[in-house]
Structure 1
Amino acid sequence: MQSTTHALVPPAQPDVDACLQAVRNLAKGEGVTLTPLPKVWVVKFSQSAPYYRGRNTGTSLAIAASGTKAVSVENNRLVNDESRFLVLHGERPYDAVVHGSEDVPYVALKLQLPPELVAKTLIEFAETGYSPPKVGRMLPAFCDFLTPDLATPLLRLIRALDDPIDCRMLTPSCLSEICYRLLRSEAAGVLRTSITSEDVKLVRAMRFIEEGANSPLTVADIAAEVAMSPSHFAHRFRSCFGVSPMRYRAQVRLEQARLLLLNTAATVSRAAEEAGYASDAHFSREFREFFGVPPRAYVQNMQALFSQANKP
């Protein structure tokens, strides 16, 4: 059985220390503390669990803020203790030993990374010409010291949990940066195993929709582009992204129109035409449904906000 070796604990780093303290503060009691995000939670154990068997699903990230958890998966033994993070992937069993006490409980932040986020980030890497670090073999798990690069978006994510609006608006970008930082580290050997060919197809379908949003597109057209059956494609797309393909296309078109209205002197008619809408009425109806107000009112409201913000 292979075992990780530990170097000396690195010197104190403000971002890392603040992140670990924020994790400890999230633990409200023994066991699991839930957060507003369904795939983010905290665990706390004030006594040792000499041995237990667990089962991981998906791709999970654990950041230990105190105490120790030793995990054995396949032929790898990894120690997740204070200031280290553990990445575990796949629906596979693992053995674990938790060392915690009243004075030094085991406290860790746990989060799951959606496979489509990993796939999307990898594709964006490919578009820049960058490739994640190559590894000799795909790993089921990885453990290393928490670095400021990774601690910073984790800390922002934790702080965003305190405010409903921050949670909704900021957490997607925090999760994206967390994924990005992991993919630029040796943990990429784990994350790359979390992507199926179908996940990659779905992200390519998303790109195809974005590039052709203003053109006539049907679910069948998009499914054919990625060599999937229309019904299976529509089901998997909604399952992964939480929105139907056609609804996502509408969101892309409306966002293009919104930016055109704000950044130019475009009329509502021109914005509707540029976004591929056949009528102003249809455009205005969908715009109001998505942004809460009609296009003209939206522009007026935003101009008022910008004016107020620019006052000395």
Structure 2
Amino acid sequence: MSEIARLMDALCRQEGATPTPLPGVRLHRTSRDIARVPLLYAQGIIIVGQGSKKVHLGGKVHAYDPDHYLVLSVPLPAECEAVVDPAQPLLSMVVDIDMEMLRGIIGRLEERRETPRPGCAQKGLYLARADAAFKDTTTRLLRALAAPDEARVLGRGLVRELLFRVLQGENAAALYALAAHNTGLSRIDKALRQIHENFNQSFNVEQLAEVVNMSPSAFHRAFKEVTAQSPIQYLKRVRLNKAKSLLVESGLRSSDAARLVGYESVSQFNREFKRYFGASPRHLPELAGWQ
């Protein structure tokens, strides 16, 4: 077991998600296989300490493991799967992207004209190799998380260092574009924030395009380039994932969950829910296993 895996194992003893003393940082432990299932990924960095995972998005498979980390420059509905050895549970850490911190680091790099922009794609999801410097920073962050005082005093600085390492890594052009003004990615990120803050409201492509000052056709193309799905598909998947959380965590009836996420027709909600998740809203045991 590597040092990163050992530290994650000690910090995350229970199945599922474990919070840490540092806001925006959490750990995950899974001891059983994850069948391919839809999830709503938050904007952040996912680091695997032990095991491997696959994310399916737009017909492509993104596999990551202890030598590769996953960056989500925007929140994305995608599908996840993993084959897990119960004797060697899947261990990972999620670090949310702090936009103020990201812009601050990039600003300092630009002052010194040290703005490597490897890669050219402005995607909502990408993989990068975890080099020695990245792993060293990850190790020190995990050690700090094991000591509450260290987490409070050193934690934010270590997260900042980790984000710096990501900006120095391959394919980091997406994060530079995210932090800049008027790039395709930053405009789509603004539209996505509008969707997530008002997912129960009616939207159309023209309204969202207007929010980010783009023509509907240009907006649709940029949106699909970033998220690998159309704006309407994205909104529907966000609503269904939000409904799943309400059903599992709050124990709501499907009719109440449907109404809260913006569906006018409960029967339509039930059909689309089953088509997307492969189970009806009434099958809570199966849904609970997806958390």
Secondary structure of 2:2's counterpart equals: helix
Asked if 1:95 is matched to 2:79, the reply is: yes
- 1:114-133 equivalences under 5 Å are 114-133=98-117
Asked if 1:42 is matched to 2:9, the reply is: no
Change (3 A) 1:103 1:71: same
Which letter does structure 2 place at the counterpart of 1:69? K
Q: Higher mean Cα deviation, 83-92 or 148-157?
A: 83-92
Q: Distance in 2 between matches of 1:25 and 1:165?
A: 17
Asked if 1:191 is matched to 2:191, the reply is: no
Match of 2:4 in 1: 19
Match of 1:296 in 2: none
Match of 1:83 in 2: 67
C-alpha contact (below 8 Å) 2:17/2:26 kept by paired residues: yes
Q: Distance in 2 between matches of 1:123 and 1:130?
A: 10
Which of 143, 156, 159 matches 1:159? 143
Map Cα deviations across residues 149-189 of structure 1 (whole Å, 9 max, x no partner): 01112111111123332112211211111111111111412
Q: Distance in 1 between matches of 2:175 and 2:8?
A: 23
C-alpha contact (below 8 Å) 2:121/2:174 kept by paired residues: no
Secondary structure of 2:153's counterpart equals: helix
Q: Distance in 1 between matches of 2:7 and 2:136?
A: 11
Q: Distance in 1 between matches of 2:67 and 2:8?
A: 11
C-alpha contact (below 8 Å) 1:55/1:91 kept by paired residues: yes
Which letter does structure 2 place at the counterpart of 1:93? P
Secondary structure of 1:197's counterpart equals: coil
Q: TM-score, normalised to structure 1's length? A: 0.54
Q: Percent identity at matched positions?
A: 20
Change (3 A) 1:94 1:126: same
Change (3 A) 1:25 1:84: farther
Which letter does structure 2 place at the counterpart of 1:87? V
Asked if 1:52 is matched to 2:37, the reply is: yes
Which of 112, 119, 133 matches 1:135? 119
Q: Distance in 2 between matches of 1:49 and 1:55?
A: 15
The structure number with the bigger radius of gyration is 1
Q: Distance in 2 between matches of 1:166 and 1:104?
A: 28
State the 1:133 CA deviation: 2.2
C-alpha contact (below 8 Å) 1:20/1:83 kept by paired residues: no
Secondary structure of 1:166's counterpart equals: helix
State the 1:69 CA deviation: 1.1
Match of 1:73 in 2: 57
Q: Unmatched 5+ residue regions in structure 1? A: 1-15, 201-312
Asked if 1:108 is matched to 2:92, the reply is: yes
C-alpha contact (below 8 Å) 1:86/1:142 kept by paired residues: yes
Q: Distance in 2 between matches of 1:24 and 1:85?
A: 18
Q: Distance in 1 between matches of 2:76 and 2:146?
A: 33
Match of 1:180 in 2: 164
Q: TM-score, normalised to structure 2's length? A: 0.58
Structure of higher RCO (CA pairs closer than 8 Å, 6+ residues apart): 2
Q: Unmatched 5+ residue regions in structure 2? A: 187-291
State the 1:196 CA deviation: 5.4
